[in-house]
A = this chain, B = another copy of it.
């Protein structure tokens, strides 16, 4: 089960030993995580602005720097989501060059996990796995279930028992086997590692993890391309396991090395919920010693108390001159509302984390107003509607008559005047 490829192979982050291509996530010698290493010079003539522009409007336009089998025929047009100039949000929080990378509309399952899953499943097929699985806080479950259905691979997905209803349904509907585990994500993840040792299954975020994680690089490529092949000054990224932020940096470094963008020092900022902030806490304390936490936050897609890539993420954030912040559940909901009200983008709780943290970074002067800054929105608000329950009153229904509508408007205006007069928070 070891496949050769001239473009890339697995390499130990610590000892540098190389392993070809196989379903393996850690170095047997030093136990450090493996990463996909590329022969960048070999793709220099292929991975060009022109070739990319001529490619499909999906992540597969960057195929030359993704760890997929030679001759791989992409099945689905994943990714290539909008990058929006967030002028209105910017006005509210004091930013003139703020952009939002919007994976809330990622194809097929409305989160950035679609990117990593499509790369993982390409490798699951190459390695001949008939069943794939994952431990998930929800978005990953949705994406594995949907893409496995399309590819005709069996899926067995393990989630914490208390997951949001919409994320559970959005896994079951694809016909996947969903196993609810009595515990939090860290319990589920540990169990998956044990299952991967015992059964010959491809776990996208366990034994296929090095390939899987590379899919996140496409967020970085898309940011650069959609900025007109420029790098931003700052990137704000939500952190669960800590992988996405590192892979965006890897993408930027590859683009610099290959000359697709000019060299630039990009600062990376991490966003977490206060109720699960092991990486942000480490960054604030100036350490890479990430202390596990027991998660307690509505941002369940970020609720990983013992993040696999936490220490590396903390280090790279500090090395870049960036910072990390964490926000309360109340601020998370406000962040979701703020992004919706200003930019018309409805994001899930994790996006509320990113938005609220971004606002704070501007408020504290850690990001300056005119710096080009990209905030990464990674999932859709329709998956976490529970978090908004009770935030909007159900108003009485009115009869379908013009006179009733007029009365209703007058009542509203009266209420607003009263509210303004009494300095009460109105509508």
- CA A174 – CA B388 in complex, angstroms? 12
- Whether B173 and A395, one on each chain, are in contact in the complex, defined by CB atoms closer than 8 angstroms, is no
Q: CA A177 – CA B395 in complex, angstroms?
A: 11
Contact with B along A360-400 (1 / 0, CB 8 A): 00000000000000000000111101001000101111111
Contacts of A343 in B (CB 8 A): 149-150
Segment among A185-193, A206-214, A261-269, A304-312 that sits at the interface with chain B: A185-193
CA distance A168 to B191 in the complex (A): 39
Q: Does A170 contact B (CB under 8 A)?
A: yes
Number of chain copies forming the complex:
2
Interface size range on A against B? 35 or more
| Chain B CB within 8 A of A108 CB | yes
A248 to chain B, nearest CB (A): 21
B340 and A149 form a contact (CB under 8 A): yes
Evaluate whether A106 and B105 lie within 8 angstroms (CB atoms) in the complex, with A383-B382, A399-B182, A400-B183 already known: yes
A146 and B340 form a contact (CB under 8 A): yes
Query: Contacts A150-B344, A346-B173; is A166 near B106 (CB within 8 Å)?
Result: no
- Chain B neighbourhood of A337, CB < 8 A: 173, 175
Per-residue 0/1 for A129-173: is the Cβ within 8 Å of any B Cβ (1 yes, 0 no)?
Answer: 000000000000000011111101000000001000110111011
Are B344 and A165 interface neighbours, CB within 8 A? no
Q: Which residue of B lies closest to A108 (CB)?
A: B344
Residues of B within 8 A of A408 (CB): 179
- Chain B residues with Cβ below 8 Å from A88 are 149-150, 152
Cβ-defined contact, A110 with B336, below 8 A: no
CB of A118, distance to nearest CB on chain B (Å):
11
- Which of these binds chain B: A35-43, A76-84, A235-243, A291-299? A76-84
Q: How far apart are A271's CB and chain B's nearest CB, in angstroms?
A: 20
